[in-house]
A and B are shown apart, each in its own frame.
Chain A
């Protein structure tokens, strides 16, 4: 069974500083990893994904994530945080299972960017 762990319930960072939101995974076979963001009272929005290729993936709103196979991690990063980045971030693993995607989400990390 696949699993996704987000070890931090909340991350606080000052505006303008770099941010990292951590994610580790346990997936058999090749992992397909995604990050989603959820703003208050909204649905999830896709940020970026890793399927194959370069380990550094660039996504929406200046976010990027680094796939590290040896550490089974897929941490989300941004060089300079904005107050508007404050939201709930979910890491997810997609696995093709019997011809369809089975998606396992982490429990989410609340990012608070302090002005």
Chain B
């Protein structure tokens, strides 16, 4: 059973470009969470999704950021018109459908905006 898979591991974008970050949850997990880790800071919750539904996006910036978790395929975190302040590590986590098991994290995507 493969773990949570994130790709790419590293992503470099110029200011104004779009960044697409992918997350494939563990098999059997239908809950996906995205977190952002800024340098020297902890993890900040961004969004929680279930298949085809955004459940909680209270941590997402109102503009330029969007997330989806389609019926088929990975979850996508999309950042439009990236700025230098978007440079961070973005982590995806998944959990099973039934309760308080520990979340399983991917290895993250490190976005650098130049």
Contacts and interface: CB of A to CB of B under 8 A. Distances in A.
Interface of A: 6, 32, 34, 36, 41-46, 49, 51, 90, 94, 96, 98, 100-108
A104 B56 CA distance: 14
Interface of B is mostly: strand
B105 A43 contact: yes
Given A43-B108, A90-B42, A102 B103 contact: no
A46 B42 contact: no
Contact of B107 (A36, A43, A106): A43
Given A32-B100, A43-B105, 11 more contacts: A43-B108, A49-B102, A100-B31, A100-B48, A102-B45, A104-B45, A105-B45, A106-B42, A107-B41, A108-B42, A108-B43
B5 to A, nearest CB: 10
A100 B51 CA distance: 13
Interface of B: 4, 6, 31, 33, 35, 41-45, 48, 50, 55-56, 91, 93, 95, 99-100, 102-108, 110
B105 A45 contact: yes
Given A43-B91, A43-B108, A44-B91, A101 B103 contact: yes
